[in-house]
Every structure is written in structure tokens, then in C-alpha cells.
Amino acid sequence: MKHIFLLIFSALLLSCQSQAEVSIVESVKVGAEQTEEYLPLLQGRRVALLANHTAMVGDKHLVDTLLAANINVVGILSPEHGFRGGADAGEHVANSTDEKTGIPIWSLYDGNTKRPADKVMQAFDVLVVDMQDVGLRFYTYYITMLRMIDACADFGHSVIVLDRPNPNGMYVDGPVLDMKHKSGVGALPIPVVHGLTMGEIALMARGEGWCKECELSVIRCRNYTHQSRYILPVAPSPNLRTQHAIYLYPSTCLFEGTICSLGRGTEFPFEVYGHPGYVGSEFCFTPCSMAGAKHPPHEDKECRGVDLRSKPDEEIIAEGFNLAYVIDAYHNLTAKGYTAEEFFTPMFEKLVGVDYVRKMITEGHSAEQISLVWREELEQFKALRQRYLLYEE
């Protein structure tokens, strides 16, 4: 399924790779490529897919691979951004039909449906999950997967996760979610950067009782460790267009909970931040309406701020979950007269997951001082995480 959106964003993503990085991609075999392991589990069964545009098996989509193997695919369940990956963050996506195959697409992101209707659940026997995650607590694909695991448990269906590498899987960092802030962008008591693949997080959720018990299989990647620098061959969502943006995303996504722009509506989302009132910077950008960002914050207004596009990847990874960007913008704008109540929005706690981060920023603490608060709880999570790892550290 070579949709125009997929081709454009794949080209953008690949354009930032060196030849050495591409060779890393070629050495890893994702779960969907291990057809000899999962096709026998699907023969003679009614199969539903929880998948999107990232579910590629080589140069073919998983749907085409299954149909070519005479697997009875009865429906496709689509997550945030839709089956083809082009919808805005949080945009409602209606049910539809796949143009190429005629298979019904049941949206799980239509504004109402957190799980399919009973008649949909009764239409299949086994759910196959294949979506490229980026390893963040607020990236919603894992939440959709867990809701479907619960639904499958209720109907006695089995679940098969075709695993893919976590491009941010080389470290674990950030505060563990205080479950009073549980939301559609944070569902489990895990840190912002959890260091797990989709298969591993499914096993952890089942093992810790965070989702219902069901028959769960994970088809592992080959030639992958958590230290692999896996370069995504397909952009996972409209505004994560480059590998550099994916590395910055854990930290710059926090601007979604402030009055600042993080570059939605530009050619470099998540790689910059700014605001019309930001002072002391020559760098500027103007967000405008475009595919994947129909009405971005500060649309058609010039923003001044910070350009992170030249920051080395390894430096970003070494710094981990970094509050310094938000702290910089907070001090810059409050010096211009903005209050803390104006700078932060309620979304900030949903993203960061705890109350104390906002409080400590407003009290003048540094990023390093704030990170000390979550260290003990983070170490406890790291110990728990070891029980569910499928890949070497």
C-alpha cells in the first residue's frame, strides 16, 4: 500500500540517514518479517489487524502479505492518526473501507470508541498487532493496544504482537506516572521514556495486572538489542518526520502543555520551540496550516525561540529526558510578564505525569535538581522492567 503520505514522509525520514545508519535498519528483522512463526497461528482463523501505515513487511504492507498467504483478514482496527497515518494528533477518524482490498476499517479514534462494538469483536478470532512505537508514555499506540487486549480477553480472543524496535529504547528516564493523572496520553505507572518495545510493554501490562489476562504471543525482532540505533524506515506519525525529531520528542513534547509552539505547522516539528513573546533570539519561524497540522498553535504568527536541529543525536540521547528546554522558555516568557498560570496548561501534568515538576520549575529549580526527585522511583521501575525484557540491554 504505497500511499502518497507514506512515501512523502518516508522520504523525509530517510533523507536524514547516513549510509551507516541505513545498514543498521537492514540488519534488524522486525516481527512482521518472521512469517514462518506467525502465519501457522492464523491459518483457518478470522483475523483482525490493529495496524497502520508503519506495518510494513519489506516493501509490502502486512495486509497484502497476509492476503497473499490466504489468511482470512476480516477487518482492520486503526489507532490515532488513522490507518494511513495522515490525521492530526487527536483528530477523530471515521470508519471506512480499505480502497485496495475492500476490508472494513474500524476506527478506534473516532471520538467515541475506546473499544469496538460487540458485533465487531464477534467478527474475529485473533488480533494481530503491528504498529511502530517510539517508546514514550504519551505516545498513544501502546494505549490502543492495551484497550484491545482487554477487549480480546473479554471475548476469549488471542493476541499476537508483531514486535518492532524501540528507537528510544537505549535508555529509561523521567518521572513515573502518578495514576491520578491517567489519561489518553498516559495509561500505566511507567516513566516518560520506558525503554520497552510494544511486545515488552504488552507482557509487562499483563504480568503486572495492568490489563486483563489473555492468550498473548510476541513475535520478536531478530538482531536487535536495546542499544541498537534503529532508524525508522517509515515516519510513525505526521509530525515525527526525522530520526532527530524522534530523539528530541521525549523532551520537546512537553511544550504541548504550555503556551509555546514546538514547530507544528512547520517543516521541523519537535525540533524547535518558540513563542511570539520569546526574546533574545534571532531564530524565528511561523507556523501555518498544513497536512498533519491543520490549526497549529500560533498559526500565522512569527515565533522566536530555539532551533535544536543541529544538536547532535548522541548528545540528545546522553541528556535523556531533559526539562531544560521548558525551563528556558518558562524563564524567558515570565520575565516578559507571563504568569505560571498562563505559561502552563492542564495538559502539562498529563504529559509529565506528576504534580511536582511544574511546582519545582516555578520555584526556580534546575532540570538536574528536579530529576533527582524521580530517581528512586525510576530505579524501581528499571528493576521491574528487567523481568519483561525480550532483548539484551
pLDDT value for 70 = 98
Number of domains composing the chain: 2
Q: Answer whether residue 273 is part of any domain.
A: yes
Residue 270 sits in the same domain as residue 126: no
Residue 128 sits in the same domain as residue 267: no
Residue 147 sits in the same domain as residue 14: yes
Q: CA separation (Å) from 280 to 90, 225, 283, 303, 331?
A: 33, 43, 9, 12, 12
pLDDT value for 392 = 96
Q: Which three cell numbers stand for residue 24?
A: 543498521
Residue 74 sits in the same domain as residue 212: yes
Residue 78 sits in the same domain as residue 169: yes
Three-class DSSP category at 96: strand
Give the DSSP H/E element, type plus range, for residue 130. strand 126-130
Residue 276 sits in the same domain as residue 341: yes
Sign, CA torsion 362/367/368/371: positive
The last residue of one of the domains, among 184, 219, 254, is 219
Residue 203 sits in the same domain as residue 290: no
**How far is 358 from 352, CA to CA, in rounded Å?**
9
Q: Which three cell numbers stand for residue 99?
A: 480502497
Three-class DSSP category at 162: strand
Q: What CATH code is carried by the domain that includes residue 27?
A: 3.40.50.12170
Three-class DSSP category at 334: helix
Block residue for cell numbers 509529565: 352
The last residue of one of the domains, among 168, 185, 219, is 219
Instruction: Give buried/exposed letters for 110-136 (b at 16+ CB in 10 A, else e).
Output: eeebebbeeebbeebbbbbbbbbbbbb
pLDDT value for 292 = 85
Residue 301 sits in the same domain as residue 192: no
Residue 99 sits in the same domain as residue 195: yes
Residue 198 sits in the same domain as residue 269: no
Q: Answer whether residue 368 is part of any domain.
A: no
Q: Answer whether residue 238 is part of any domain.
A: no
Q: 354, 181 in Cβ contact below 8 A?
A: yes
Residue 15 sits in the same domain as residue 160: yes
Q: Which domain holds residue 82?
A: 4-219
pLDDT value for 79 = 77
Q: Express each pLDDT in 96-155 by its tens digit.
A: 788 788 899 988 865 565 689 899 999 999 999 999 999 999 999 999 999 999 999 999
As averages over each run of 10 residues, the pLDDT of the chain (393 residues) reads 42 44 64 98 97 93 96 90 49 66 81 78 97 96 95 98 98 98 96 98 98 97 96 93 98 98 98 98 97 94 98 98 98 98 98 98 98 98 98 96
What are the counts of helices (DSSP H) followed by strands (DSSP E) for the chain? 15, 14
Q: Answer whether residue 33 is part of any domain.
A: yes
pLDDT value for 109 = 62
pLDDT value for 110 = 52
**How far is 115 from 330, CA to CA, in rounded Å?**
38
Q: Answer whether residue 385 is part of any domain.
A: no
Q: Answer whether residue 114 is part of any domain.
A: yes
Q: What CATH code is carried by the domain that includes residue 298?
A: 3.90.1150
pLDDT value for 36 = 98
Nearest alpha carbon to residue 289 among 272, 307, 264, 268 = 264
Q: 321, 192 in Cβ contact below 8 A?
A: yes
Residue 125 sits in the same domain as residue 249: no
Q: Answer whether residue 377 is part of any domain.
A: no
**How far is 32 from 212, CA to CA, in rounded Å?**
24
Q: Answer whether residue 150 is part of any domain.
A: yes
**How far is 265 from 287, CA to CA, in rounded Å?**
4
